[in-house]
């Protein structure tokens, strides 16, 4: 039996990581949990986010995953080490992949980070960047209005553009050449963010970078899937499955329509 | 005592990986071995390259490295699995990091690979790319004239430009949007290669990608260096130390002049 990669998020943001894992590792089976009943995690206290993350991991572990991806920056910032200490399989967050890519990309040494209040307050990106390169400068900005737009499926409206433009204003005058989209929801807004920041700023998305690190780590541990079998993915959510399924299909597009998928709404928490 | 990262190459090509590891992981101590007396490896039979690689690993292992990086595509192609089976520390090559980056970058699904005769003949990049994504198209081309130019320190002459232009001609008509520089010597020629291929082709260098995977794997294994101590790197070569030192200083530039470095010419083989 093929052991899956478990990917979890506060809602639909982690689907950006799912899409990249599907693209970069098409042989791998994915089980996904979106905690749509309790999204967003950003404004919640750290203890609560840690408890929610534990509950989801406890649920997913019954499917015997070979790896857990915490595809949520808020949960990564506050709960990654806790989860790593509780399971024996590798647990990957989305913060170090983005930090490593930014560290590799920046020429000026000035890196911006946008994220939820919880992520920014935790200082997790700044810690990760300085852990890798002590001399790097980090400018952090919370953008609490972005996640609700994405969870409503509101990716490209006039309202969205205005919200993004106004929110990112404080970063426009700085000398940063690299901006980390420090929330897995933000790739849904990437075109708008690129338009606002201009082409001289390199945008780093957690999604593709995290998928690459998943690939690297599975290979180092000799756990990449072999063979030609088509994986059957499974998607779980804790809230309204109609909305969740609609956004999932909209985001994953053709990829998901060609695949056999199991949808479930387990009771959790 | 700080355990180093051991990096080895057939000559000076692996210095491109050294430079990126220094930049992305400034806390890590590096020991480097350039087999300048026996370069190039490209035209040699696989058994011989494997034997040389074993000899270097046997030499470097006395310094108790925490990881070995085979920063040579030819040696990675033919000897990676052999070395992995002989030591208990992680052994990383330069082929999968480049393949993973190309797999992540390509939009057309057509990826080019240039390398030495040994690397191209081994089919290692094609194998790696198709292992990750079975539907990818790979176009491979041996460029045996590039390594001697670099080993002579001849990076930007008219002769170099003409050699690069003529060698890459077979790739110009293809639909590839991503080209893997499948030899650690080629980043020395990256500006010339970029000029010849044009800006619509994304060039993937092993150096930066390999440094990133070193970082990812060390972190997954909880072996990233902590603290503020400045590392003392050590450089070894098997051939003329004057030429080796000149090219090393030219390539690493300021970075190396600021650092205490030990130079040695051990007897090997």
B56-111 pLDDT, tens digit per residue, is 999 999 999 999 999 999 999 999 999 999 999 999 999 999 999 999 889 899 99
A112 with A196, same domain: the answer is: yes
Rounded average pLDDT over A2-31? 93
Of B75, B48, B106, B105, which Cα lies nearest the Cα of B182? B75
Q: Which of B213, B222, B224, B225 to mutate to test the interface with A (most CBs of A within 10 A)?
A: B213
Whole-angstrom distance, CA of residue A82 vs CA of residue A70: 12
- Look at residue B255 and tell me if it is in a domain: yes
- Would residue A182 count as lying in a domain? yes
Of all residues in chain B, the percent with pLDDT exceeding 90 is 63
In the stretch 123-142 of chain A, residues with CB closer than 8 A to chain B read 131-135
Shared domain for B176 and B198, answered yes or no, is yes
Across the interface, do A211 and B133 touch by the CB < 8 Å criterion?
no
Domain identity same for A197 and A245:
no
Question: Does residue B194 share a domain with residue B116?
Answer: yes
The total number of structural domains in chain B stands at 2
At B258 the pLDDT is 47
Residue B40, Cβ density class (10 Å: 0-12 exposed, 13-18 middle, ≥19 buried): buried
Task: Kindly state whether residues B152 and B251 are assigned to the same domain.
Answer: no
Q: Which of A18, A129, A183, A218 is catalytic?
A: A183
Query: Residue A128 maps to which CATH number?
Result: 3.40.50.1860
- The answer to whether A217 contacts chain B (CB < 8 Å) is yes
* Beta carbons of A216 and B213 less than 8 Å apart: yes
- Reading phi first (left if > 0) and then psi (alpha if -120 to 50, else beta), residue A259 is in beta
Residue B269 lies in a domain: no
Look over chain A and give the mean of its residue pLDDT values, rounded to a whole number: 90
Residues A163 and A199 reside in one and the same domain: yes
Assess whether pLDDT exceeds 80 at residue B229.
no
| B24/A100 CB distance under 8 A | yes
Is there a single domain that holds both residue A80 and residue A32?
yes
User: Chain B residue closest to A228 (CA)?
Assistant: B134
- Is there a catalytic annotation at residue A183? yes
Nearest by Cα to B91 from B197, B217, B200: B217
Domain that holds residue A111: 95-206
Tell whether B10 and B34 lie within a shared domain: yes
**Do residues A120 and A187 both lie within one domain?**
yes
Q: Is B183 a catalytic residue?
A: yes
- Which among A226, A197, A20 is positioned nearest to B105, based on CA atoms? A20
- Specify whether B168 is located in the same domain as B65: no
Give a yes or no: residue A223 inside a domain: yes
Tell me, yes or no, whether A43 lies in a domain: yes
A269 in any annotated domain? no
Examine the domain organization and report whether B170 and B212 are in the same domain: no
Does one domain contain both A188 and A234?
no
Answer with the one of A206, A226, A241 that is the final residue of a domain: A206
The answer to the question of residue B188 being in a domain is: yes
């Amino acid at each position: 039996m093929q052991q899956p990669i478990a990917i979890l998020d506060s809602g639909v943001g982690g689907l950006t990581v799912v899409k990249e894992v599907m693209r970069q590792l098409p042989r791998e089976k994915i089980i996904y949990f979106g905690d749509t009943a309790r999204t967003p995690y950003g404004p919640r206290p750290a203890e609560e986010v840690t408890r929610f993350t534990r509950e989801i991991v406890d649920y997913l572990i019954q499917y015997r995953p070979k790896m857990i991806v915490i595809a949520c920056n808020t949960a990564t910032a506050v709960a990654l080490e806790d989860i790593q200490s509780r399971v024996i399989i590798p647990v990957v967050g989305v913060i170090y992949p983005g930090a490593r890519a930014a560290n590799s990309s920046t020429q000026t040494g000035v890196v911006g980070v946008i994220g939820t209040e919880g992520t920014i307050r935790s200082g997790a990106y700044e810690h990760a960047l300085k852990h890798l390169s002590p001399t790097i400068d980090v400018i952090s900005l919370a953008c609490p209005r972005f996640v609700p737009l994405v969870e409503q499926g509101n990716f490209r409206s006039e309202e969205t553009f205005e919200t993004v433009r106004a929110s990112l204003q404080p970063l426009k005058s700085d000398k940063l050449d690299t901006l980390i989209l420090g929330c897995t929801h933000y790739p849904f807004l990437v075109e708008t963010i690129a338009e606002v920041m201009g082409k001289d700023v390199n945008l780093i998305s957690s999604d593709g970078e995290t998928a690459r690190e998943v690939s690297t780590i599975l290979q180092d541990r000799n756990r990449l899937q072999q063979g030609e079998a088509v994986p059957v993915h499974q998607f779980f959510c804790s809230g309204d499955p109609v909305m969740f399924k609609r956004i999932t299909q909209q985001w994953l597009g053709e990829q998901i329509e060609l695949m056999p998928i199991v949808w479930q709404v387990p009771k959790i928490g």
